[in-house]
Chains A and B, each alone.
Chain A
Amino acid sequence: MRIDGFRKDKAVWTLISVLIFIFFFMFIVYPIFSILKSSIYENGAFTLENFRRFFGESYYSSTLINSLKIAVVVALCSLALGIPLAYFNTMYVLKGSTAIQIITILCSMSAPFVGAYSWILMFGRSGAITKFLSDVFGFKMPNIYGFAGIVIVMTTKLFPLVYLYVCGAIKNIDNSLLEASESMGVVGVKRFWKITFQLCVPSVLAVTMMVFIRALADYGTPALIGEGYRTFSVEIYKQYMGEGGNSHGFASAISVVAIAITAVFFFAQRYFANKHSFKMNALHPIQKKKAKGFYNVFIHVVSYALVAFSFLPQVYLVYCSFRKTTPSGQSFIEGYSLNNYRLFFARMGESVWNTLLLGGFTLIVTISIAVLISYLIVRLPSKLNNTIDTLSMLPYVIPGSVVGIALVISYSTRPLVLTGTFIIMVIAISIRRMPYTIRSSVATLQQIPITVEEAAESLGTTRGRTFLRITIPMMSNGIISGAILSWITILTELSTSIILYSSNTITLTLATYNFVSRGNYGCAAASASILTFFTALSLVLFFRISKTKDLSM
């Protein structure tokens, strides 16, 4: 009787593993395979023509160099801004440190192209501040389009990530380590470099990688503000959409190159991170000190300036959304109204509903699979489950637009046609979100002592029941806060959905992007503000539930 129950239990878990494996095979492995195939197989014959063309013609290969340049410079700039801000806000008493924390999180969560759009409104050729400066002072604003613009906009969006990660790492440092260093005569900048920073290296490596990958793969920012500066994520999209009159094969080839490069950086990061791994937990966390005199003024000014710098674009958009526009929505005029919102709801009102529906479904799919997988990985390791673990990490190194293209290539022909459907959007976005959600579920689960579950089992409950009645409730806090973060990233997802959406599945972010690219700035400001509102609301919920001021993605 007991043996039977045990066997049945085991069978159920194996079945779950197999189902998840099939799901991953269909929507991760097969699409990657398809894209590879489509890049080297054209008209029924093997060819390297696509790769030859990409690397041979500098018109194309330069996009790759450009993207790498941007990713490297953005990563460096983000570190240069994020680390000092984190240091100031963890080591010293800053007035309004909670506000700093919340605003930086909000900034890190906004859709990247929204920042680009706002920068154009402010500092672009006919931007408000550009005009103001040239009218009043005769000062000519430097050109913000191209490389500089992309770097600035991405940095404002991504340095908050560095800030949040480094804050988390510094909070894990035990004060006695700093005191030990001080007792041996190492203080000040030297101590920061030799101890504090070194102890943050694992986090810094991880977040640098994250910033790098995001900068490399971002589509919206270079598309809006890049102008002549061409990056490969934009190129993939163009090729795919046939703007250059070209085939899926060439877009696939660029995608394969993109995956390869990201993977190389990912493994390099993993290698260094493993070499630098050590355990820390702070018995006595660092106590914030009051800085004195000039230094105190300095750290306040720097911190506020940084936060204002990254928050300004969002504030300006909200302000713009209430301004009157010309009937076409092309430019803003004197006076204020709610007209932008009225127009937005008339034309794209369903996008709000779509967003909530899509977000909700994606969330359910992501969370359920991620929780099951984390349980399989942590509690029931096996060959199959380890394979699932590895597969689930693949989407991390695949740029969003590539995920989209891969799915389209794989599922636009019979027997399974999914393109244009709601389902393919749900699958695509949940696949992209999977690596993050699984990591955080695994971390949550690892903190739950296994003895609690063993106790339940010793009392006669099956594994499955224990999982539902004990494990999940104990994980629930971690799950819910993870879910809210996923929810926000789903809200602001652009690069995958722009390839997969149809008129029936347009989301708020896509609507904003469409308004921007069509030049309807009034409606764009309104929908961007609604997006910001949803993001902020979700964050408030997150802080309520998780009861912390920290978060990690």
Chain B
Amino acid sequence: MKVRITIDHALKKYDGNTVIPDLSLVVEEGELFTLLGPSGCGKTTLLRMIAGFNSVEGGKFLFNDKEINNLSPSKRNIGMVFQNYAIFPHMSVKENVMFGLKNRKLPQDEIEKTTAKFLRLMQIEQFKDRMPDKLSGGQQQRVALARALAISPDVLLMDEPLSNLDAKLRIEMRKVIKDIQREVGITTVYVTHDQEEAMAISDRIAVMNGGVIQQIGSPRELYQRPQNLFVATFIGHTNIVKAKLAGNNILFDGYKLVLDNLKDVPDQEVQVSIRPEEFIINEDTSSEGMDAVVEDYVFLGLTTQYFVRLADGDAVEIIRESIVGKDLAVGQHVKLQVKTEKINVYDASEAAMTLIRKE
């Protein structure tokens, strides 16, 4: 069954301590939805509320139109993959995968068939009679995934499933997860604090901070149009440059930009988020742009990274495709321009909300 998960004004407290004050979101059918945020922001807490392992202090959790607040985890038909895999150490790989199926009292041949199918799908057939302590981390991860999927759950929940793996295996496994999720077409909630992993794997991402959702969107939306400064800095890397807003104009120190996608707001102080690749470096100091001095640079092969100081004393980081021949010199004066359509503008308040219109 295809399931849409709706969370409506969820509230979570631990002994009177509010961890999630008021959270709403919808995970669409068959979507791979990621909860992303810094450590301690409540991702695991929310995931375990969906699973039913955490109590719900307020709000509603729905699978399609059915409220599940008081349904025990065993009745929710979920597949769960844990950070430490939670493979039963006293059962072989095959017995682990069969465990949930056996409990459903299916006919033996069907159990065997489904088990074999998922062992094959996860490419762990050759280990099927091994005990878990004789598997590598990546193999254990595959067992955990096969076990969760074998019961054909309505919803797949994963809490940092890759965080115990080394970097190379992480990249390999996230492709495995994404492929199998596509193939099975199961609604999936995925938790991670690794933004690159989130970008690589997700259909949509909810960025959380302090138990509050900052923004929900596709990886592209989050990167290109972050709704507030937290998202802009959490996803990818960015430079914040102070400026003034006057009508359609953004006024930097000695540099003026015209934006055609600004909201209709009064003139004010603003913060402009400019990612390293959104700067254009101009060696001609007589041209238009912000005054800057090159302080250092690092040649990275494909790109070169420059550390540059603006006239007002702020340091910014710039990345551009490496050039052949003579590079900029340390101490050299340059003018900086920006790719107008890419930058984002935020108000100067604490929440630092975007001033860019929705497209």
Contacts and interface: CB of A to CB of B under 8 A. Distances in A.
A242 B253 CA distance: 111
Given A174-B86, A278-B131, A278-B133, 17 more contacts: A177-B88, A180-B80, A180-B86, A182-B72, A183-B51, A183-B78, A183-B148, A184-B74, A184-B99, A185-B151, A186-B100, A190-B103, A199-B88, A276-B90, A279-B89, A280-B89, A283-B84
Contact of A199 (B72, B75, B89, B148): B89
A194 B95 CA distance: 12
B219 interface: no
A357 interface: no
Contacts of B132: 278
A176 B82 contact: yes
Interface of B: 51, 53, 72-76, 78-80, 82-84, 86, 88-90, 99-100, 103-104, 131-133, 147-148, 151, 157
A185 B104 contact: yes
B86 A198 contact: no
Contact of A183 (B79, B88, B133): B79
A210 to B, nearest CB: 21
A394 interface: no
B72 A187 contact: yes
A201 interface: yes
A278 B90 contact: yes
B74 A186 contact: yes
Contacts, number: 72
A198 B90 contact: yes
A200 to B, nearest CB: 10
A206 interface: no
B80 A179 contact: yes
Of B78, B80, B82, which is in contact with the most chain A CB atoms at under 10 Å from its CB? B82
Contacts of B104: 185
Contacts of A280: 89
Contact of B84 (A176, A183, A194, A201): A176
A185 B147 CA distance: 13
27 contacts: A174-B86, A179-B73, A179-B82, A179-B86, A180-B80, A180-B82, A180-B86, A181-B88, A182-B72, A183-B79, A183-B80, A183-B157, A184-B79, A184-B103, A184-B147, A184-B151, A185-B104, A186-B74, A186-B103, A198-B88, A199-B88, A201-B90, A278-B90, A278-B131, A278-B133, A280-B89, A283-B84
A425 to B, nearest CB: 44
B55 to A, nearest CB: 11
Given A177-B88, A278-B89, A283-B84, A183 B73 contact: yes
A141 interface: no
Contacts of B89: 199, 278-280
B145 to A, nearest CB: 12
A176 B90 contact: no
The 4 closest A-B CB pairs, nearest first, are A184-B100, A176-B86, A278-B89, A180-B86
B164 to A, nearest CB: 10
Contacts of A181: 88, 99
A185 B74 contact: yes
B215 to A, nearest CB: 29
Contacts of B80: 179-180, 183
Interface string A256-296: 00000000000000000000101110010000000000000
Contacts of A199: 88-90
Contacts of A283: 84
Contacts of B88: 177, 180-181, 195, 198-199
B73 A182 contact: yes
B74 A182 contact: yes
A182 B51 CA distance: 10
A179 B72 CA distance: 11
Contacts of A177: 86, 88
Nearest to B144: A180
A185 B100 contact: yes
Nearest to B72: A187
Nearest to A279: B133
Interface string A171-215: 000101101111111110010001100110100000000000000
A180 B84 CA distance: 11
A183 B80 CA distance: 7
Contacts of A201: 90
A208 B149 CA distance: 38
Nearest to B80: A183
A291 to B, nearest CB: 15
Contacts of A279: 89, 133
Contacts of A180: 80, 82, 86, 88, 147
Contacts of A174: 84, 86
Contacts of A198: 88, 90
Nearest to A195: B88
Contacts of A190: 103
Contacts of B151: 184-185
Residue among B103, B104, B131 with max Cβ neighbours from chain A (10 Å): B103
B103 A179 contact: no
A186 B147 CA distance: 14
A184 to B, nearest CB: 3
A180 B99 CA distance: 10
B121 to A, nearest CB: 18
A460 B104 CA distance: 63
A127 to B, nearest CB: 46
Contacts of B157: 183
A181 B80 CA distance: 10
A236 to B, nearest CB: 40
A114 B106 CA distance: 55
Nearest to B101: A184
A319 to B, nearest CB: 43
Nearest to B89: A278
B339 to A, nearest CB: 46
A519 B29 CA distance: 82
B74 A183 contact: yes
B305 to A, nearest CB: 38
B155 to A, nearest CB: 10
Contacts of B99: 181, 184, 186, 194
Contacts of B133: 278-279
Nearest to A200: B90
Contacts of A179: 51, 53, 73, 80, 82, 86
Contacts of B73: 179, 182-183
A180 B73 CA distance: 10
A510 B103 CA distance: 56
B74 A187 contact: yes
Nearest to A283: B84
A189 B79 CA distance: 21
B104 to A, nearest CB: 7
Nearest to A180: B86
A176 to B, nearest CB: 4
A194 to B, nearest CB: 8
A201 B88 CA distance: 13
A79 B99 CA distance: 27
A280 B89 CA distance: 7
Contacts of A185: 74-75, 100, 103-104, 151
A276 B53 CA distance: 30
Contacts of B72: 182, 187
A278 B133 CA distance: 7
Instruction: Output the residue of A179, A195, A276 with the most chain B CB within 10 A.
Output: A179
Contacts of B51: 179, 183
Contacts of B100: 184-186
Contacts of B53: 179, 182
A176 B151 CA distance: 18
Nearest to A183: B80
A184 B74 CA distance: 6
Nearest to B79: A183
